[in-house]
Chain A
Amino acid sequence: MEEYMEREDIIKKLESDLKNVKTKNDLQNVKAAYLGKNGIVTNLSLKMKEIPNEEKREYGKFLNLIKEEVTTKLESMESELEKNLLEEKLNEEKIDITLPSRKKLKGSIHPMTRVVEELEDLFVSMGYDVISGPEIDTDMNSFTKLNLPEGHPARDAQDTFYLDKDYLLRPHTSPAQVRTMEANKEKTPLRIVCPGKVYRRDDDATHSHQFMQFEGLVVGEDISLADLKGTLELFAKKLLGEKTNVRFRPSYFPFTEPSCEVDVTCFKCGGKGCSLCKQTGWIEVLGAGVVHPNVLRMSGYDPDKYTGFAFGPGIDRFAMFKYGITDIRQIYTNDIRFLEQFDRKDVD
């Protein structure tokens, strides 16, 4: 009987062969040397027929054992190899993650647009319609129908850019009130806001001849100064912070009666008193009031049935406060270094 290798020897040899395996190819060769045609294990099984019958059972057991052992060793070698290869590949792909990223060009939304949008969203959520009126309007819509007849002393206060005797650049967004009330043929209750550019013959460090106003008008039954106050409180808290309070002082505007100046808690000092609020703790931010019955009447609303309130703040200074802008002219200068700072979302 021909000598054959003991099981231990085969495994020893396999282990030593596997030690030299570096690549998948090497492994393939080893595999062939054991399990392939003419392989050590294959040859052993071929010998089965030479084994005497009474020993066949024992030999078969021995063969299975050795096959299993060889296969396991080869498989574990294979998975180790793959692991090494992956490791190698990962290692090769190592990068410096601190290098600059690849990103698209960044744009920005202008601070005034941001303030307008914030206010639009607030009022739309309360059921107000957002409307826009023309920037060139008539003297009639801008003054006469707002209870400022020709020769009215309050017309002086609004030094207006006229285009001819009838047309002008709107000095306030209030013509939107007239236009909306007139357009509403059913003369039903209204809730509108109208943001937009307005123009006045006024230009210095704190005024610009063009600025943004945000008109509001509510017409309905039993609309009162308390409703106005509650609405403006929301407005002020939204833009200037929850701690902001609102104060009414009686005043005079031809389009409202009663009229009031509206002060808010000084946004610089929080009401303690500082140079901005002249130690009063308050800053005057807008004029408002109960819509004058003449204004309602001229636009076809019955002042005995309806009342309303209107307000019309210039909102440039809100933007200035919100974003810490110190000079109103920056808003209209469009220095890229200024604009670029508005490339992110506002804080909710």
Chain B
Amino acid sequence: MKLSTKFLKDYVDVPVDYQELADRMTSIGNEYDSCEPLINATDLVIGKVLECKMHPDSDHLHVTLVDIGSEKLQIVCGAPNVREGIKVIVAKPGAVLPEITIKKSNIRGVESNGMLCALFELGLDKKYLHEEDINGICILGDDAKVGDDPIKYLGLDDEVIDFELTSNRGDLLSILGMAYEVGALYGNEVKDIDIGYKEEGEDINKSFKVKVSTKDCTMFLAKSVKDVVIKESPDFIKTRLIASGIRPINNVVDISNFVMLETGQPLHFYDADTLNGELEVRNSKENEKLTTLDKTTRTLSSEDIVIASHGKAIGLAGVMGGLETEITEKTKNIMIESAIFNNVKIRQTSKRILRSEASNRFEKGLDPKRTYLAIERCCNLLEKYADAKVQTGLVIYDHENKDDKEIEVTFDKINKVLGLEVPHDEVIKILENLKFKVTVKKDTLKVLVPSRRIDITIKEDLIEEVGRFYGLENIVGKLPTVPLKPGKFNKTYREIKHKMANLGLNECLSYALIRESEFPLFQTEVKEMVKVLDPMTDEHAVMRYSLLASLMNIYTYNKSRGINDIHIFEMGNGFYKEDTEYKEEMKLAALLSGEYKIGFETIKFNFYDIKGILEDLLDYLGYKDRYTLVIKDIPKELHPYQSASIVVNGKEIGIIGKINPAFNKDDIYVLEISINKLLENRVKGIQVSEISKYPTILKDVAFILDKDIVASDVSKEIKRLGGKLLRDVQIFDCYEGDKIDSNKKSLAFKLTFNDMNRTLTDEEVMEIFEKIISGIETKFKSQVRDK
């Protein structure tokens, strides 16, 4: 909302300058975007062209002698409309205009001491100007006094504060609303608006009917004015429109905009002669066509509200009028519409079709009293500035409540909510300055809020009014007085992240919205995806299920920047749909690629690195000895022979493995687990087990086995054969190579024997050891190496 301070001052006294006003308004909740004079130019003066000769060395430049009162200046001017005798705007040497700074100069051999200005050179947007003002310098009226300030003469001595208002303050989209707000700030009265006019002729209700056949229109007023003379508006209207950001067109159109700015009530003018005595407000028919003012044919829906005449839609209520009934240069008689439509419907329609000054106001809600006021103000101005004859009577359809709202609140409640000690008389003063009627009974305030403040309906709204005018800056912060209790907080997710970081991985945070084509990746049975109805881009269209899709993108991003050693993880939700239900599942994914260094040793990441991370994490979370890797359900993005499903307590909770070279040819190792599924498996707290007081006996043995035999099977069998005296089995080497057959491998085990109650003898350990060796040799058709 662009507020012209000059326009505002028509209705309320403002004791401060515009910058201070803008800052004070901000402090009461009305922020502004910008705040500046309408014309940003210095050293301008009204001059009279005394002489005007052709430039000796140019076919279009003139050399003028201009009287500016204090002196006479020779100025070279290129405008085609410069001539002797006219009054002009002179920018003296040293003048600073929006685009240029004026200096004494020499133009093709002739001295020039200033510039004769066109209006756009002063910073007025060309859209507000007539053709002749764009092509030439501004020619002032004969009454302009040489030596005076031309900006003042033109009525452009104004300032504009561009407010960014909150959506509840529809009332501030009017000069009157602003006047009440500013009046409340400084305790000043709001001046009356001039609404007087004469009526003549027979009552309009006899010859004109309005039918409202939709509940989306709660108020519709129509009034007829005749014999208007279409011409240019008076300057005070034009300049106020320009300062408010609206282009002046002609007196009639301008008055409708001017009154909208004053009252906040949008109006629509019909050429009455095109209406044939009736108007109907109804919902549009589905696919009904209407050509609007901008000469565009619109296809409407049954959600739109239209104004119709004799069955045919002639206007899109609250948004834009129709072309057929618009005011033209030839219009004589006008039907004025002042109405209130359902704000939600207007919002939907305007969102689809066109946002305008009018629709913006309808959306935010209107004061039904102003609906009357606006139409009367229109008649007043049309009579004065368009020579209109106002016809007797007003066509009224009115289902609006215009009563003041009665709200009760106690002083105590106000101060308790604000956390302030606002004195009682201060509370009353603030509410009365807002022109609310206040009666006090003991501790209770009874407040009558006028209909213009549609945003105020409950006591909390009144509390806010007191707070914002008293000043929220006066609140002294304190902490809530509440019973002591410990805060509840499950730290598991945090601990997982920190464990992963401690294992050497960098935490990533990426977007949950991904490409549709990325969704099925790393899934064996593809879930139903969660899709956004109206994505901004294809890149962010569906919610990810696997975080590995994101980590692969991060891998590619870094790789393309020359970073090859990548060890990363991310924790976040994966999303899918199941039986029309949206599901989210907390997941953890990790990715390794490239190499790392320990001292001078460079180690290339391989499967056992990612496996180590998995085991370290699961052990840390208390799942030691409860997980296995099972070679099944491997998604096609993973290598079939270097991957597995992760199984905890018999249930699959994730995948681990190498990226399939068909998917990405780099050596990349990944894992992804469902944290939700993992944590479903309860873990017992740490309970220490007794430490044996007796010595342990260690035995090493290596077996030569077929390559296809997996180490974990051998370990398991050793443990079974070893019985309870065999405390631990560790694989400490795996060898394949020249020293053994090419289809064989050698696995070396370290066995730990111990008993809690006594010292074991060598003989009994040897007996078990021999039993293990022969057992393994038989079961796996293997033999002990280097025996």
Contacts and interface: CB of A to CB of B under 8 A. Distances in A.
* A and B held together in a complex: yes
A161 B534 contact: yes
Contacts of A247: 473
A321 interface: no
A222 B484 contact: no
Contact of A107 (B26, B29, B458, B504): B504
B431 interface: no
Contacts of A97: none
- Residue among A123, A163, A191, A225 with most chain B CB within 10 A: A225
Interface stretch (A18-26, A62-70, A79-87, A329-337): A329-337
A182 interface: no
Contact of A135 (B419, B479, B512, B566): B512
A302 interface: no
Contacts of B567: 105, 107
- Residue among A130, A228, A332, A339 with most chain B CB within 10 A: A339
Contacts of B536: 201, 203, 209
Contacts of A218: 480, 482
A77 interface: no
Interface residues of A, number: 88
Interface stretch (B45-53, B309-317, B596-604, B729-737): B596-604
A150 interface: yes
A110 B498 CA distance: 10
Contacts of A226: 418-420, 475-478
A114 to B, nearest CB: 9
Interface in B487-540: 487-490, 494, 497-498, 500-513, 530-536, 540
A258 B464 contact: yes
B568 interface: yes
Given A107-B500, A250-B472, A334-B554, A229 B482 contact: no
Given A162-B532, A162-B534, A120 B489 contact: yes
A151 interface: yes
B290 to A, nearest CB: 23
A149 B322 CA distance: 32
Interface in A128-155: 128-130, 134-136, 150-151, 153-154
B533 A335 contact: no
A251 B166 CA distance: 7
Contact of B563 (A135, A199, A228, A336): A336
Interface of A is mostly: mixed
A279 B485 CA distance: 43
Contacts of A128: 487
A127 B419 contact: no
B479 A227 contact: yes
Given A100-B599, A226-B418, A230-B479, A113 B497 contact: yes
B503 A105 contact: yes
Contacts of A127: 482, 484-487
Contacts of B511: 209-210, 332
A257 B477 contact: no
A59 interface: no
B512 to A, nearest CB: 6
Contacts of B582: 134, 136, 163, 167
B509 A112 contact: yes
A197 B500 CA distance: 21
B479 A231 contact: yes
A130 B489 contact: yes
Interface string A2-35: 0000000000000000000000000000000000
Interface string A186-229: 00010100000101010100000110000000101011111111
- Residue among A164, A227, A258 with most chain B CB within 10 A: A258
Given A104-B504, A290-B417, A335 B561 contact: yes
A117 interface: yes
A161 B472 CA distance: 35
Contacts of B468: 250, 258
Contacts of A227: 419, 478-481
Contact of B480 (A112, A136, A223): A223
A233 interface: yes
Contact of A157 (B167, B418, B599): B167
A106 to B, nearest CB: 6
A37 interface: no
A307 B513 CA distance: 37
Interface in B547-590: 554, 557-558, 561, 563, 566-569, 572-573, 575, 582, 584
A300 interface: no
Contacts of B572: 197
B168 interface: yes
A207 to B, nearest CB: 11
B724 interface: no
B467 interface: yes
A249 B508 contact: no
Contacts, number: 249
Given A197-B512, A250-B468, A336-B563, A108 B418 contact: no
A134 B584 contact: yes
Contacts of A164: 533
A249 B472 contact: yes
- Residue among B29, B458, B464, B473 with most chain A CB within 10 A: B464
A189 B481 CA distance: 11
A258 B417 contact: yes
A339 B467 contact: no
A231 B480 CA distance: 8
- Residue among B418, B479, B511 with most chain A CB within 10 A: B479
Interface in B409-438: 416-420
B347 interface: yes
Interface string A249-285: 1111000011111000000000000000000000000
A293 B463 CA distance: 13
A130 B478 contact: no
A336 B568 contact: yes
A92 B403 CA distance: 102
B450 to A, nearest CB: 19
Interface in A311-348: 331-337, 339-340, 342-343
Interface in B197-222: none
Given A130-B487, A232-B477, A257-B458, A340 B575 contact: no
B506 A340 contact: yes
A310 interface: no
Given A130-B489, A331-B509, A334-B568, A250 B464 contact: yes
A136 B512 CA distance: 11
B487 A124 contact: yes
A337 B568 CA distance: 12
A248 B504 contact: no
B27 interface: yes
Nearest to B468: A250
A197 B510 CA distance: 11
Contacts of A251: 29, 31, 166
Nearest to A335: B558
B558 A225 contact: no
B475 A229 contact: yes
Interface string B2-39: 00000000000000000000000011110100000000
9 contacts: A101-B599, A107-B569, A113-B509, A154-B168, A157-B167, A163-B532, A230-B477, A249-B29, A292-B460
Interface of A: 100-110, 112-113, 117, 120, 123-130, 134-136, 150-151, 153-154, 156-157, 161-164, 167, 169, 189, 191, 197, 199, 201, 203, 209-210, 218, 220, 222-234, 246-252, 257-261, 290, 292-293, 307, 331-337, 339-340, 342-343
Q: Which 8 A-B pairs have the closest CB atoms?
A: A226-B419, A105-B504, A151-B344, A224-B419, A250-B29, A230-B477, A252-B166, A258-B464
Given A107-B503, A226-B419, A227-B479, 13 more contacts: A107-B505, A117-B494, A123-B487, A127-B485, A218-B482, A226-B418, A227-B481, A249-B26, A260-B472, A334-B558, A335-B561, A336-B558, A340-B506
